[in-house]
Every structure is written in structure tokens, then in C-alpha cells.
């Protein structure tokens, strides 16, 4: 298990380019299974989860060419469908959440799929019901294998239908869309998720020949087509990384420019950080964050304490709440962080409390942060990264803290942040991988 050793308290300075979006990449790369033609994908982040998914596709027989580290040409013209039932597929799928999205395209094109228990962050119960019920509505039959913990699905004739999802699941919507694009007739998905990841997926599928309308809304209409062809696709900048860099700049009192941030796709994210008192300027498509001695959390119009909570898009993503929480520890003022979706994502606050932060964990979903207003610095400690975003939040805390911190289990951070230590060193951070 690798660790980061960080000597905190240094101000950082410079420009940083966000990686391609992790959660978009997982959808887009799964979608290459929908066509026997070549699909060229660029701005692929070089991170563990995405590399694992590419390895899984290669093991399934998908041909790949890598003209550059961040571009890959995929061709799924000779897929080994039987590999899906193997122990090797089950094992590797279990190492990332995104593997679940192989099922939709496999059902669509090859009429069968296996969904082993996927991996991903251990941040609470993460059910797959939305995916399976959606497939079932399209005409798939499923069996759950209790011994090996996987769903087996068959769908000789996928048939378009109307469905109202019980929740706007991000990967669930992607899976159902990919299953429906070549079903007979029209599928209508109401209460669909509409994160930029999904908008990007739908736009790519339409370029491949699909007929999806309502993109960007919670009502998608998909007219089934017989065949999808090749295309080219470029991933958007990773909005979660961008939010993390905004938080990093504020916490370390640093002047940072986030280059080519894809500002029009960030929705409410910049505004949430501005509510914490963080200044930023949009310069073309770059976000400039000046070095700020202090930042003050705004209150509601009536003076009430601010709440930052998660919500499906266009609401605030749950993946940035841990970052908002850590940034609030040094703000002037107080905030209630309400993590509605995941029930185990706030437990990392224990480590921040050990570092000297003032946080009351009210229950598994809510934490009140009373900002230290820089009257005291956080103290460096040894800690372990429980999940990808808490890991990044702890890293930001360590970079702002007095003294040395050791962050263990950084494999969690590597799942989603590309060459993070190297990129932070370029900004002046004292961070070592040991
Ligand atoms: C690989 C990938 O893309 N992962 C993302 C994806 O995971 P994933 O697609 O697994 O997450 P889902 O959208 O299915 O749901 C996440 C959790 O939130 C709950 N839920 C969801 C919607 C809702 O309105 N109410 C509610 O409580 C679900 O029950 C579940 O426990 O979306 C999550 C929610 O944005 C993100 O945190 C993950 O980073
Ligand atoms: C929860 C996340 O990832 P995953 O769904 O892959 O576990 C995340 O990206 O914050």
C-alpha cells in the first residue's frame, strides 16, 4: 500500500490543466461495445479505474490502438461474449464501479450480460435495482447467482417502452440508454439522470446513429435503430477535479489558474465555492483563483446558516461535498454539509477533527463545520484515505496543515486523480509518494 508524505503550509502557484472526466470516460468507453466499427476517444484520463475498464474490454476481445497516452482507438468487431461468464471478468469488474456499464451495450448487441458485484467507493449501500429493473422493462430476464454474487441477464428481443425510474441513477440511466438504443420501437425514460457525463454519452450515441432526444433533461426519448457506426469523441474536463483544485487553492491560500475548464459544463459548481467566500474570475475558459488570506461563508438572505447538500444534476454533485467540507474548516463562518445520497461518506471527518478542525458529525449524513478563520492551522497527522474524494479532501487538508502528514491507502486517490503528486509538485507542493 503506497502513501503520500506531505509537508504542508506552503503556498502554491501556477497553472493546472484538468484531466478528462473519469465518470464520463467510464460510460463512453463502455459504449464502444455497441458497434463493430472504430471509435476514437481522446482526453482519456490515465487513472486506475479507466485503465482497468480498458483492460476488461481488451480481455473481451476489443482491439485497441494507442496513438497517444490519452487517445485510444477501439474496435469491438470480434467480442468474446463467453468471457463475461468467467472468474477473471468477475474479479476485475469487482475492482471498479464503471464495469457495471458493460451490461447495457452487451444486452443491446449480444443479447446477454453478466453484472458481477461492482467495486468503487465503499460509501454506503449502492444498489443496482434501477439498472436491473430498467433492463427488465425493456424485456430482459434476469437471475441472481447468490453463490458468486452476480446478475445474469438475457434479452432475445429488447422492446422499447415507457419507464419512470425510481431514482435518477447516473450509471443506471447510462446502462438503460445503451440497452435501449437498438431496441425495437421507442423507449421513454422519465426521471433520467442528466449529468454532463450522460449528455456527452447521448451526444456520442447520436453521432453513431442513435436517435435520442431530450438530452440534458430528465425525459429521454429513444427511437430504436438497427445499427450504430463508428465515431470520434473527446472527453470533457473533469468537473470534480476542477472543484477539487478550487478548494485546494482556497485552503492553501494559493494563486492558481485552472486552464480550459469547460466552464459552460460546470453548472452550479463554481457558485457553491463562491458561497464559501472563494473568489474566482472566469478568463475565457480558464478559472483564475487569486491567493486569498481568508474567505467568509455566506449566510442565507435572512441570516440563516448555509447548507450545502447534494442533488442529482443540475444540483450539486455528491462527489464534491467532501472537498467543500474540508475547505469550510478554515473559512470564516459555519456551514451545514448534508450528504443525502451516501450514508458513509462523512466518516472521514474524524481525521479532520484529529488535525484540529471544528466539526460536529450530527449523524451519518450531516456535519456542521465551524470555520477556524485561520486562527489555528490544521496539524499534520498520519491518516488513511477511505474513498477517492475523502482521500483528495485529506490531501488538501494535509497541504494546508502545519508539519508533516502521511496519507496511506492512496490507491483510492489514484483511482480518480491522474499523476496527482507530480502535478501538485509543479505548483510548488512538497509531496512525495513513498
Ligand atoms: C462511476 C460513476 O459514474 N459514479 C458516480 C455515479 O455513481 P452511481 O451511478 O453508482 O450512483 P447512483 O446515481 O446510482 O446513486 C448514488 C446513490 O445515491 C442515491 N440516490 C441517487 C439519486 C437520488 O435522487 N437519490 C439518492 O438517494 C442512490 O440510492 C445511491 O445510493 O453517480 C454518483 C451520484 O452522482 C456519484 O457519486 C458517482 O461518482
Ligand atoms: C464515488 C465515486 O466513484 P465510483 O462511483 O467509481 O466509486 C466518485 O467518483 O466520487
Q: Tell me the ipTM for this assembly.
A: 0.98
Q: Pick the ligand that lies closest to the CA of residue 387.
A: 2
CA of 167 to the centre of ligand 1 (A): 9
Say how far apart CA 277 and CA 251 lie, in whole Å. Answer: 12
pLDDT tens-digit map of 251-278: 999 999 999 999 999 999 999 999 999 9
Check residue 185 and give its pLDDT. Answer: 98
Q: Please give the number of the atom of ligand 1 that sits closest to the Cα of 123.
A: 31
**Does the annotation place 97 within a ligand binding site?**
yes
Check residue 148 and give its pLDDT. Answer: 83
Q: Is residue 25 pLDDT above 90, yes or no?
A: yes
Check residue 146 and give its pLDDT. Answer: 87
C-alpha distances (whole Å) from 338 to each of 166, 252, 361, 369 are 21, 24, 10, 11
**Does the annotation place 46 within a ligand binding site?**
no
Across the range 220-247, mean pLDDT stands at 98
Check residue 207 and give its pLDDT. Answer: 98
CA of 136 to the centre of ligand 1 (A): 20
* Lowest-confidence pick of 141-150, 160-169, 272-281: 141-150
CA of 212 to the centre of ligand 2 (A): 26
Q: Please give the number of the atom of ligand 2 that sits closest to the Cα of 123.
A: 1
pLDDT tens-digit map of 286-325: 999 999 999 999 999 999 999 999 999 999 999 999 999 9
Residue nearest ligand 1's atom 15 by CA:
169
Task: Tell me yes or no: is domain 3-19+237-433 CATH 3.65.10.10.
Answer: yes
Q: What DSSP letter does each residue of 221-245 carry, written as one string?
A: EEE--S----EEEEPPB-HHHHHHH
Check residue 126 and give its pLDDT. Answer: 83
Residue nearest ligand 1's atom 26 by CA:
341
Q: What DSSP letter does each residue of 35-71 carry, written as one string?
A: -SSEEEEES----HHHHHHHHHHHHTT-EEEEEETTE
Pick from 167, 201, 318 the residue to mutate for probing ligand 1's pocket: most ligand atoms within 8 Å of its CB. Answer: 167
**Contact at 8 Å (CB) between 272 and 231?**
no
Say how far apart CA 240 and CA 230 lie, in whole Å. Answer: 29
CA of 92 to the centre of ligand 2 (A): 16
Say how far apart CA 328 and CA 326 lie, in whole Å. Answer: 5
pLDDT tens-digit map of 342-375: 999 999 999 999 999 999 999 999 999 999 999 9
Say how far apart CA 103 and CA 100 lie, in whole Å. Answer: 6
* Burial class for 226, CB neighbours closer than 10 Å (0-12, 13-18, 19+): exposed
Evaluate: CB of 317 within 6 angstroms of ligand 1: yes
Q: Is residue 394 pLDDT above 80, yes or no?
A: yes
Q: Please give the number of the atom of ligand 1 that sits closest to the Cα of 26.
A: 1
Rounded to two decimals, what is the model's pTM?
A: 0.97
Q: Pick the ligand that lies closest to the CA of residue 415.
A: 2
Across the range 174-202, mean pLDDT stands at 98
Q: Is residue 338 pLDDT above 80, yes or no?
A: yes
Residue nearest ligand 2's atom 7 by CA:
120
Check residue 78 and give its pLDDT. Answer: 97
**Does the annotation place 22 within a ligand binding site?**
yes
Give the pLDDT band of residue 85 (cuts 50, 70, 90): confident
Residue nearest ligand 1's atom 28 by CA:
341
Check residue 350 and give its pLDDT. Answer: 97
Domain ranges of the chain: 3-19+237-433, 22-234
> Residue 296, SS3?
strand
Question: What rounded mean pLDDT belongs to the chain?
Answer: 96
Check residue 123 and give its pLDDT. Answer: 72
Q: Is residue 182 pLDDT above 80, yes or no?
A: yes
Evaluate: CB of 97 within 6 angstroms of ligand 2: yes
Give the pLDDT band of residue 417 (cuts 50, 70, 90): very high
Q: Pick the ligand that lies closest to the CA of residue 392.
A: 2
Pick from 175, 319, 344, 345 the residue to mutate for probing ligand 2's pocket: most ligand atoms within 8 Å of its CB. Answer: 319
Q: Is residue 419 pLDDT above 90, yes or no?
A: yes
Check residue 95 and give its pLDDT. Answer: 85
Q: Pick the ligand that lies closest to the CA of residue 49.
A: 2
Q: Would you name the residues annotated as active-site residues?
A: 121
Evaluate: CB of 388 within 6 angstroms of ligand 2: yes
Confirm whether 3-19+237-433 and 22-234 share one CATH topology: yes
Class (C level, CATH) for 22-234: alpha beta
Q: Is residue 245 pLDDT above 80, yes or no?
A: yes
Say how far apart CA 34 and CA 17 lie, in whole Å. Answer: 31
Residue nearest ligand 2's atom 10 by CA:
319
Amino acid at each position: 500500500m503506497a502513501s503520500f508524505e506531505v509537508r504542508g503550509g506552503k503556498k502554491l502557484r501556477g497553472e493546472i490543466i484538468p484531466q478528462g472526466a473519469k465518470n464520463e470516460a467510464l460510460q463512453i468507453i463502455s459504449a464502444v461495445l455497441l458497434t463493430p466499427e472504430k471509435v476514437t476517444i481522446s482526453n482519456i484520463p490515465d487513472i486506475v479505474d479507466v485503465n482497468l475498464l480498458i483492460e476488461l474490454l481488451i480481455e473481451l476481445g476489443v482491439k485497441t490502438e494507442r496513438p497517444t497516452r490519452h487517445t485510444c482507438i477501439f474496435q469491438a468487431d470480434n467480442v468474446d461474449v463467453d468471457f463475461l461468464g468467467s472468474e477473471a471478468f468477475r474479479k476485475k469488474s469487482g475492482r471498479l464501479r464503471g464495469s457495471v456499464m458493460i451490461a447495457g451495450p452487451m444486452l443491446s448487441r449480444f443479447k446477454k450480460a453478466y453484472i458481477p458485484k461492482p467495486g468503487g467507493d465503499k460509501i454506503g449501500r449502492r444498489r443496482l435495482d434501477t439498472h436491473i429493473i430498467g433492463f427488465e422493462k425493456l424485456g430482459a430476464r434476469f437471475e441472481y447467482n447468490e453463490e458468486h454474487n452476480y446478475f445474469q441477464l438475457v434479452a432475445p428481443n429488447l422492446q422499447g417502452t415507457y419507464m419512470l425510474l425510481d431514482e435518477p441513477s447516473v450509471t443506471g440511466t447510462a446502462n438503460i440508454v445503451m440497452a435501449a438504443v437498438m431496441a425495437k420501437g421507442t423507449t421513454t425514460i422519465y426521471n433520467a439522470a442528466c449529468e454532463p457525463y450522460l449528455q456527452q454519452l447521448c451526444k456520442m450515441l447520436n453521432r453513431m446513429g442513435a436517435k435520442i432526444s431530450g438530452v440534458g433533461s430528465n425525459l429521454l426519448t429513444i427511437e430504436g435503430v438497427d445499427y450504430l457506426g463508428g465515431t470520434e469523441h473527446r472527453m470533457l474536463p473533469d468537473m470534480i477535479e476542477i472543484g477539487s483544485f478550487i478548494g485546494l487553492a482556497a485552503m492553501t491560500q494559493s494563486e492558481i489558474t485552472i486552464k480550459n475548464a469547460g466552464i459552460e459544463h460546470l453548472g452550479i459548481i463554481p457558485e457553491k465555492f463562491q458561497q464559501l467566500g472563494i473568489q474566482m474570475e472566469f478568463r475565457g475558459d480558464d478559472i483564475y483563483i487569486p491567493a486569498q488570506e481568508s474567505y467568509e461563508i455566506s449566510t442565507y438572505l435572512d441570516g440563516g446558516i448555509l447548507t450545502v447538500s447534494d442533488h442529482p444534476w443540475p444540483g450539486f454533485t455528491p462527489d464534491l461535498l467532501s472537498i467543500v467540507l474540508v475547505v469550510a474548516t478554515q473559512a470564516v463562518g459555519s456551514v451545514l454539509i448534508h450528504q443525502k445520497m451516501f450514508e458513509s461518506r462523512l466518516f472521514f471527518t474524524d481525521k479532520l477533527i484529529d488535525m484540529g478542525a471544528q466539526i460536529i458529525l450530527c449523524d451519518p449524513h450531516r456535519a456542521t463545520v465551524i470555520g477556524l478563520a485561520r486562527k489555528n492551522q490544521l496539524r499534520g497527522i498520519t491518516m488513511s484515505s477511505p474513498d477517492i474524494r475523502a482521500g483528495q479532501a485529506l490531501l488538501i487538508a494535509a497541504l494546508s496543515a502545519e508539519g508533516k502528514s502521511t496519507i496511506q491507502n492512496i490507491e483510492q486517490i489514484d483511482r480518480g486523480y491522474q499523476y496527482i503528486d507530480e502535478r501538485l509538485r509543479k505548483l510548488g507542493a512538497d509531496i512525495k509518494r513513498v
